[in-house]
Amino acid sequence: MQAAAPTDLVVRTCDAIDRLVSIDVPRRGVIDLLYRAAREEAGMPLSLRAAQVLQSGLAGGGIAAIATGWLDRPHVSLNVAETDGPPGAAALARALHVAFGAIPFLFVEQQILEATKAVVHAAGLRCVEPEETLAAKGGSGALHAAAVIALPSDRAQAEAMAADFLVRFDIRAFVAVEKGGENRCGRIRTSRGADTTAALAKADALREACQAKGIPTVGIGDGGNEIGMGRIRDLVADRLRNALGPDGTSDDGVMPHGKTDALIAATVSNWGAYGLSAALAVMLRNPDILHTVEMEEAILRASAAAGFIDGVTGYVGPSADGLPLPVHLSIVRLLRSFVGEEVNTVAWKKYPG
């Protein structure tokens, strides 16, 4: 299905969405660099580009593969993961289901399988077995289903699983939300430059398998080391800390090697996913695609209840990247103004002033 060219209003609104989700609220000092490079590379709002890429794959429905999860205290326990990623993935899962009737399959580390299900449930989708999701489409009682699946941290096993899933299921899009990406040497690094390859699910194996079949891919990140950032590696590697490895090249630095079809660079990866949901809502003129402020609170509280930690503070709580709950609720509140909630754009258009 050929998508219609976006109107000026859609482009303007998506630019505004981009600007909101790329404000460096936590003073991390990297998003300006990443966003500007990505915006220049894309030549259009990042949220719109990603929305178009997903529409190209999912317009007729099908399965959306969403990889997320970051085990970020591996020196303590592989069971500890952060709140940035799963909430965004869950909100986006819901958005893709509402927008296209897609069935979301979330791929995470085995250790956070149950925790992620709790977050997806807070977003309104019922997690069932992958095969069972297919039955949810028909039948007499409505069920908005999703599946959460353990993706191996072993590269070969991940490749085998990806190949198997692509044969068994009608996967039509791939999105990574705050998911460590492999550099040219095959290593995944934290933004501090530490090697964290062993702990993480090998989502790049799934990305590669999807791309080999021509399935569109999107990456969402906030630090430069996530899947998706490969699109701007050559543009920023000389300016992003830890982007260059010991040999002075980016081969073994923090930035991934592989390229997705679209990249969203945002202040907090969750916000990138929310911005993408908002862009889909604007593009398809359906406000329901973007989750509500109430859902956002439910999602973040479910994350905390499931044991996810704020990766910055190290506390379990309804916060992400050091920013407390009200900030995330405000972001969703402001994004909802772009889909017509609490804003009277019509009055502005006819304002005699």
Partner 1 sequence: MSHSAQDIAERIDQLLSIDFPDREVIDIAYPAFRKHYGAPLSYLAAKALAGVKRGQIVFIATGFVNRPRVDTIIAESDGPVGAAVLARAVHLGLGAVPVILIEEQIIPAMARILHACGLRVLELERAKRCADPSITQDGVAILASPTDWEEAEKQAIRLLQTEDVGAFIAIEKGAANPAGEVLFSRGRKCTPTVGKIDPFVKLCRDKGIPTIGIGDGGNEMGMGNAGGILRSLMKYGDPQYNGGIVPAQETDYVVPVTVSNWGGYGIAAALAALLDRPDLIHDEATERRMLLAASLEGLIDGVTGTTLPTSDGLGEGVHVAIVTMLRAIIGVGVPRTDWPGSAPAG
99 binds partner 1 (CB under 8 A): no
348 binds partner 1 (CB under 8 A): yes
Between residue 125 and residue 164, which ones bind partner 1 under the rule CB under 8 A? none
- The secondary structure element, H or E, covering residue 334 is helix 325-337
Between residue 210 and residue 269, which ones bind partner 1 under the rule CB under 8 A? 223-225, 239-242, 254
The whole-angstrom separation of Cα 157 and Cα 269 is 27
Cβ-contact 148, 111 below 8 angstroms = no
**Could you tell me which stretch among 138-146, 190-198, 208-216, 257-265 binds partner 1 (CB under 8 A)?**
190-198
Report the residue from 191, 217, 250, 260 that binds partner 1 according to the rule CB under 8 A.
Answer: 191
Report the residue from 3, 7, 19, 40 that binds partner 1 according to the rule CB under 8 A.
Answer: 19
Task: Identify which of 83, 16, 146, 109 has the alpha carbon closest to the alpha carbon of residue 302.
Answer: 83
Identity at 296, one-letter amino acid code: E
Least distance between partner 1 and beta carbon 239 (Å): 5
CB-CB neighbours of 67 under 10 Å:
29
> 304-329 burial by CB neighbour count: b if 16+ within 10 A, else e?
bebebbbbbeeebbbbbbbbebebbb
168 binds partner 1 (CB under 8 A): no
347 binds partner 1 (CB under 8 A): yes
| CA separation, residue 221 to residues 53, 84, 100, 149, 227 (Å) | 17, 10, 24, 21, 7
Least distance between partner 1 and beta carbon 94 (Å): 21
Least distance between partner 1 and beta carbon 342 (Å): 3
- Nearer Cβ to partner 1 (114/315): 315
249: tokens are 């090249």
Evaluated on CA atoms 265, 268, 270, 271, the torsion sign reads: negative
11 binds partner 1 (CB under 8 A): no
Q: How far apart are the first and last CA of the chain?
A: 42
Least distance between partner 1 and beta carbon 153 (Å): 23
Binding mask 32-51 for partner 1 (x = CB under 8 A): -x------------------
7 binds partner 1 (CB under 8 A): no
- Nearer Cβ to partner 1 (12/137): 12
Cβ-contact 261, 217 below 8 angstroms = yes
Query: How many alpha carbons lie under 13 Å from residue 127 in its C-beta half-sphere?
Result: 19
75 binds partner 1 (CB under 8 A): no
Report the residue from 197, 286, 292, 337 that binds partner 1 according to the rule CB under 8 A.
Answer: 337
CB neighbour class for 164 (10 Å; exposed up to 12, middle 13-18, buried from 19): exposed
Tokens 């977003």 appear where? 123
**Pairing verdict, β 145-150 and 171-177:** unpaired
24 binds partner 1 (CB under 8 A): yes
Least distance between partner 1 and beta carbon 85 (Å): 17
**Pairing verdict, β 217-221 and 103-108:** unpaired
Report the residue from 6, 14, 20, 39 that binds partner 1 according to the rule CB under 8 A.
Answer: 20
Report the residue from 12, 168, 213, 285 that binds partner 1 according to the rule CB under 8 A.
Answer: 12
Report the residue from 3, 7, 9, 129 that binds partner 1 according to the rule CB under 8 A.
Answer: 9
- Nearer Cβ to partner 1 (116/196): 196
Least distance between partner 1 and beta carbon 136 (Å): 34
Judged by the rule CB under 8 A, the positions of this chain that interact with partner 1 are: 9, 12-13, 16, 19-20, 23-30, 33, 190-193, 223-225, 239-242, 254, 293, 312-313, 322-324, 326-327, 329-331, 333-334, 337-338, 341-345, 347-348, 351-353
